[in-house]
Structures are given as C-alpha cells and as structure tokens.
A and B are shown apart, each in its own frame.
Chain A
Amino acid sequence: MRLTCPHCGSRGLEEFSYRGDATVQRPALEAPEEDWVAYVYLRDNPCGAHRELWYHGAGCRAWLVVERDTLTHVVHNVRAVCREETP
C-alpha cells in the first residue's frame, strides 16, 4: 500500500504508522459514562469507506487523515490533520 502524503508525495507504507479511527468524536466533559466508554474503547469495523489517522513518522512527521475503502483498499484522499498548513 502506498499513501500520497500532502507534504512528501507518494510513499510506501513502511514510512507510516496507523494511529486510529479518525471518525471518533470526543464527548463533552459532562457526557454520560457510556459515551466516554464508547469513545475510549469501542470502535466500528466498517466494511467499505472509512476515515483513519496515519502518522508519517519516517517522513514529514505530520498527522494525516486517510479516506480509504477497507473492502477494495482504494485510497480516496489523504490530507493533513492541521488545516492551516504552511508550505
């Protein structure tokens, strides 16, 4: 698998680390315990389109959001987590 880093271009998977599900939302501080348990421990295992966090540790060291299909392995989009990117 190759990912096209927005900073470094197309690179092999060995340069990246998977850092979790990018779709989870941190609950409000006063949210019920069940919400926090779900946030910390529970993950979906989608078959199809998914959003994931990846870390380009052996390259630019940026955190990336990768939109890919877990069924077909097609990578649709890779962008930096930080919106206000300097070049």
Chain B
Amino acid sequence: MADILRPASPVKQARVTIGDLGLALLPQKDLVSIGPFRGQADAVSATVKAALGVSLSSGFQEQDSPEGYAVFRAGHSQWFCRGPEGGMLEARLVALCEGRAAVTDQSDSRVRFSLCGPGAAAIAAKLVPVDLRASAFAKDCVALTLAGHIPVILTCREVLLEYEFLVPRSLAQSLFDDIHIAMKGGIPGSDPICSRADKGDYFIPSVEMDPRDDRNARA
C-alpha cells in the first residue's frame, strides 16, 4: 500500500504554557458538516440519532454519545459531527443522509485548540464577543463567532476554565499567536509591545510537537 502523505502541523508549536494556563493543539478527529435540505432537519436528526446516538439539536449545545460521537450546531441550518479519527464518518453520514442533507468532510479544514487553566475565560474574552459567564455560556455551549478577525467555533468545555476553538486550518497559526499574545497579557492586534518586542518569543521556527498529540506519536 502506498504511503499516506503526512500533513504538516498547522502550527509551529503544539503547546504553550503561561503559568497554569495552557494553549494546546488537540488531536485530529473526523469532522463532517451536515447541512439538511429544506424541511429535512428533523428527519436527518432522527436518522443520525439512530445511527450515532446524537441528534441535530436546534440549540447551540454540543451533544455527545458514549460511542465517541459529538454533534453541535454551528449556524443556521448547519451542524458538525465529530467522531474518532479514521472512522469513515463522512462515508457513513453520506449514506445515512443521502438526498436529505449536504454532507462534507471537514476533518482537514479545521484545527482545534484548547485554552485551559485559571483565567481562561478572561483570555478568551479578549478575543471573542461572547458573554462567557456560566449564565450565558455554560458547559458544552457552542458559538460560531469571531476571535479578533478570525472566524471560530467556540465551545465551553468547563465554565471559565476551558474553551475550545475550532478554526480554519489556514488561520490556525494566526489564532494561536493571538491567543498566545493574550495569555502573555497583551491585546491581540492592538498591543504594539506584545506584537513587536515578543516577536522572537512566539514566532519560534520549531516544528516540535507535544508528545500527547496523536499525530506526533505516529510521526
């Protein structure tokens, strides 16, 4: 069998830490977008629920199944389904939703970061215009929004302590840098001290990966 091309890491560093606050690239998983055709959302939801244990909820809250699948709504008539890497999720969903939804593999189009630790909400709040308090953005809440100028899908993993950013791969390094600047006390895009003086610090020309990253383990 031919060798599979191994993708380059979307970011130069897979993890940075400032005090107890960490920003880390999360392992790749299968990610598929589902866009039900007009009037088909309920039927698609029921089908996906029967097969994967998760439905297409109309709320902006991620649903998880014990089998390792997650579904979340990320906009008007658009849902994402995430599953174990290499699980042929797209092929399964194409078969399940045939003629009733547009199904597209997004696994390589997006990158996930986790911002985790005390003060994570304060750092995230420098970038996203979302009210991150528990009353407005509880665990598993999802918002399609902007982090600065970068479109992201933000998920709360733990109120005030852990947030996940799903970002287009081509913008991953920019978002990583912006969050890193914010973690270091700066304000991305408007803080000349951080964006210049610290340049050597966060533009490290290294491709070192965190050993906890799946893909590094295989590399």
Chain A positions within 8 Å of B, measured between CB atoms, are 7-12, 14-15, 58-62, 80, 84-87
On whether the beta carbons of B129 and A61 are closer than 8 Å, the reply is no
B141 nearest in chain A by CB position:
A9
Chain B stretch 35-79: residues in CB contact (< 8 A) with chain A: 36, 38-41, 58, 60, 75-78
At the interface, is chain B mostly helix, strand, loop or mixed?
loop
On whether the beta carbons of A59 and B38 are closer than 8 Å, the reply is no
Task: Indicate which residue in A11, A84, A85 contacts B145 across the interface (CB closer than 8 Å).
Answer: A11
On whether the beta carbons of A15 and B41 are closer than 8 Å, the reply is no
Task: Indicate which residue in A10, A58, A84 contacts B38 across the interface (CB closer than 8 Å).
Answer: A84
B side interface size, CB within 8 A: 19
On whether the beta carbons of B36 and A86 are closer than 8 Å, the reply is yes
Chain B positions within 8 Å of A, measured between CB atoms, are 36, 38-41, 58, 60, 75-78, 129-131, 143-146, 151
A58 and B146 contact, Cβ closer than 8 Å, known pairs A12-B129, A86-B36, A87-B41: yes
Q: Tell me, in angstroms, the Cα distance from A85 to B78 when the chains sit together.
A: 12
Listed from nearest, the 8 A-B pairs whose CB atoms lie closest are A12-B129, A60-B76, A87-B58, A60-B75, A58-B146, A7-B76, A62-B76, A86-B41
A86 and B38 contact, Cβ closer than 8 Å, known pairs A12-B129, A61-B76, A62-B76: yes
Min Cβ gap B36→A in Å is 7
On whether the beta carbons of A59 and B75 are closer than 8 Å, the reply is yes
A8 and B38 contact, Cβ closer than 8 Å, known pairs A58-B151, A61-B75, A87-B58: no
